[in-house]
């Protein structure tokens, strides 16, 4: 392990820009380590350095994706209650996101393989229920935020379809509806995926209708909650999502009609 850590530090510091299959395997094997230094600061940081520096070729990128898909890392123990397996799932998602983002412009990876990653993402987003952000002594789990990052990358990829866009809206709906009190900027990460989606898929009227219907659904659930806190947290998450979406759209100076709908909804929710 010490040797792996030294190699990863060398990659991050730009002393080395090559990586062997053995090291890639070790990185994959430890992708969900509960040691936050190894998992986040070394493995993921080194991986990002390799991706952004164009140091991984097509064969290596496809090897990583195939290995993670074969391991079913993204759904490891996903049906169990809160466990450390969330780190494997959420950091697998980050690896997927980085590679899909890279391939959205390079388009060097097999389309069939990218399709498998997208399908695996839909399965994951429909099942993940561990919404912890920062976990003491173990670092970031952050599954909703990491999932949102992958949805953002998928929305940009040329093979993503309208059906994928519709599924993305379903995933965003799910993560907002099931919120139990996000506190680590999860809503903004979901908003970034949403704003990216508006640039690539679906027409404005459809998106505006989705926003209005989601607001109505969450308002009705809270009105009928009989004092339960979860519907309040879901409505709060949606409001924060809307605010982030508004200013992201404002920053990019796009989708004025959607932005105005969002503003109207936020005004209605202020009390």
Count of alpha carbons within 13 angstroms of residue 8, beta-carbon side: 26
Note whether residue 252 is domain-resident: yes
Mean per-residue pLDDT, 60-69 = 98
Q: Which residues contact 207 (CB under 8 A, 6 or more apart)?
A: 169, 198, 258
Note whether residue 9 is domain-resident: no
pLDDT value at 117 more than 90: yes
Note whether residue 27 is domain-resident: no
Note whether residue 120 is domain-resident: yes
With contact defined as beta carbons under 8 Å apart, do 23 and 4 qualify? yes
Mean per-residue pLDDT, 241-249 = 98
72-96 residue pLDDT tens: 999 999 999 899 999 999 999 999 9
pLDDT value at 16 more than 90: no
**Helix, strand or coil for residue 140?**
strand
Pairing of strands 134-135, 139-140: antiparallel
Q: Report the pLDDT value the prediction gives residue 146, as an integer from 0 to 100.
A: 98
Note whether residue 261 is domain-resident: yes
Q: How many structural domains are present in the chain? A: 1
Phi/psi at 79 (5° precision): -90, 0
pLDDT value at 271 more than 80: no
Full residue range of the structural domain in which residue 105 is found: 57-268
**Helix, strand or coil for residue 134?**
strand
Note whether residue 156 is domain-resident: yes
Mean per-residue pLDDT, 105-134 = 97
Q: What mean pLDDT value characterizes the chain?
A: 96
Note whether residue 173 is domain-resident: yes
Q: Report the pLDDT value the prediction gives residue 48, as an integer from 0 to 100.
A: 97
CA end-to-end span of the chain: 54
From start to end of the chain, where are the E strands?
A: 134-135, 139-140
Q: Report the pLDDT value the prediction gives residue 11, as an integer from 0 to 100.
A: 95
Higher pLDDT, 16 or 268: 268
With contact defined as beta carbons under 8 Å apart, do 221 and 229 qualify? no
180-205 residue pLDDT tens: 999 999 999 999 999 999 999 899 99
pLDDT value at 228 more than 90: yes
Residue in the block written with tokens 């994706």: 65
Mean per-residue pLDDT, 107-115 = 98
With contact defined as beta carbons under 8 Å apart, do 119 and 108 qualify? no
Note whether residue 151 is domain-resident: yes
Q: Report the pLDDT value the prediction gives residue 118, as an integer from 0 to 100.
A: 98
């Amino acid at each position: 392990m010490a040797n792996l850590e030294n190699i990863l530090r060398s990659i991050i510091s730009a002393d080395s820009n090559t990586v062997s299959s053995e090291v890639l395997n070790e990185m994959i094997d430890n992708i969900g380590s509960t040691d936050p230094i190894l998992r986040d600061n070394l493995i993921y940081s080194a991986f990002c350095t390799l991706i952004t520096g164009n140091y991984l070729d097509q064969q290596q990128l496809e090897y990583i994706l195939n290995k993670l898909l074969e391991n079913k890392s993204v759904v490891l123990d996903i049906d169990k209650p809160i466990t450390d397996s969330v780190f494997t799932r959420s950091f697998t998602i980050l690896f997927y996101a980085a590679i899909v983002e890279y391939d959205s412009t390079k388009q060097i990876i097999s389309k069939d393989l990218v399709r498998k990653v997208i399908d695996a993402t839909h399965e994951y987003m429909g099942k993940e229920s561990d919404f912890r952000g920062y976990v003491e002594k173990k670092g970031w789990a952050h599954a909703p935020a990491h999932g949102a990052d992958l949805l953002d990358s998928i929305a940009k990829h040329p093979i993503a379809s309208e059906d994928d866009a519709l599924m993305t809206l379903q995933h965003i709906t799910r993560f907002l509806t099931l919120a139990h009190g996000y506190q680590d900027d999860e809503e903004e990460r979901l908003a970034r995926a949403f704003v990216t989606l508006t640039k690539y898929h679906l027409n404005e009227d459809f998106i505006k209708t989705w926003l209005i219907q989601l607001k109505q659904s969450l308002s009705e659930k809270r009105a009928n909650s009989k004092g339960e806190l979860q519907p309040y947290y879901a409505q709060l998450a949606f409001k924060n999502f809307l605010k982030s979406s508004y200013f992201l759209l404002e920053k990019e100076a796009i989708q004025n009609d959607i932005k105005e709908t969002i503003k109207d909804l936020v005004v209605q929710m202020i009390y």
